[in-house]
Chains A and B, each alone.
Chain A
Amino acid sequence: MAAGTATHVYPFMPGGAADDAKLVSGAAVLSDLTDRPRFGLKGGGSAAWLAARGIPLPAVNRIGDHRGMRILRLGNEDILLLAESAAETLAQVKTAWQTTAAPKGYSSWREEGWAWMRLSGPRLAEVMGALCALDLRPGKFGDDDIAQTRVGHIEAVTFRSPAGFDILFDITASAYFARAVAAVAVHTDQYKG
């Protein structure tokens, strides 16, 4: 196998379908950030509650920043906070949300519902090009843009990270996604253009 394997997919359910799925490395490197802290709010009152906490909200399909967290606006009332290295700040927001009375939206349960993976590597552009039909070149797709589309034939949210592309999708597709990326990476390795 041209593209070696590194680590495993975060097993949400030990013994489940993703338990033995491996993450590819080589032409493309897939890493799993599913165990990193995040918090999603959805439904009426979500945006107003976050704004009242002093969290600046970007436009729909754009990303903002607040105290080390990335603020993803997936819809008017669908907001996701990613805290790869700001766990404490996120914990404060979650605690505040839990102790506030409604209206405050509802938890969209992104911590458990979605897998969070990062695609990088020397041939990232080709591999991502084979996985996603959108034009994601730097001139067309900016650092603060979000694409809600299909990646590897499954519904996903993708955006740029300093290392490459982050991809969020239904956690039940983790094993499938890891295998789909591996297949594309191997193909890319074999047919060097």
Chain B
Amino acid sequence: MKLLTCPMNGPRNIDEFQSFGPVRARPDPNATADKEWSRHLFRAENRKGIVLEWWRHVPSNYFFLAERDLVSNEIIRTFDASQLRDRA
């Protein structure tokens, strides 16, 4: 059983979670051409390294962030989204 540590609920079976994909900057609707929009919406990055992703703990409907290694699939850390806002 793979475990993921929810910042609010603690370590849980990863089956209790849903992934919402990488944190990405939203394109400016007034300054983005159709081609860039299309790329943003339909094409996924496929690189190596560390990704910052949105996850949801389904039973509590709690959204949080996780850093994951794209090569080893190791989850490096999980934290509340407010920490990202505080850092920015």
Contact = CB atoms under 8 A, between A and B. Distances in A.
Interface residues of B, number: 13
Interface in A125-152: 133-134, 147-150
Interface in A78-92: 78
B59 A61 contact: no
Interface string B53-80: 0000111111000000000000000000
Given A60-B8, A61-B8, A75-B62, A148 B13 contact: no
A150 B16 contact: yes
A115 B9 CA distance: 22
A6 to B, nearest CB: 28
Interface of B: 1, 8-9, 12-13, 15-16, 57-62
Contacts of B15: 150
Interface size class of A (residues with CB under 8 A): 10 to 19
Interface in A50-77: 60-61, 74-75
A47 interface: no
Interface of A: 60-61, 74-75, 78, 133-134, 147-150, 155-157
Task: With a 10 A CB-CB cut-off, give which of B1, B15, B16, B60 has the most chain A CB atoms.
Answer: B60
A155 B58 contact: yes
B83 to A, nearest CB: 15
A75 B59 contact: no
Given A150-B13, A150-B15, A155 B59 contact: yes
B59 A150 contact: yes
Contact of B60 (A133, A134, A148): A148
A78 B59 CA distance: 13
B8 A149 contact: no
Given A148-B60, A150-B13, A155-B59, 9 more contacts: A75-B60, A75-B62, A134-B12, A147-B9, A148-B9, A148-B57, A148-B59, A149-B12, A150-B15
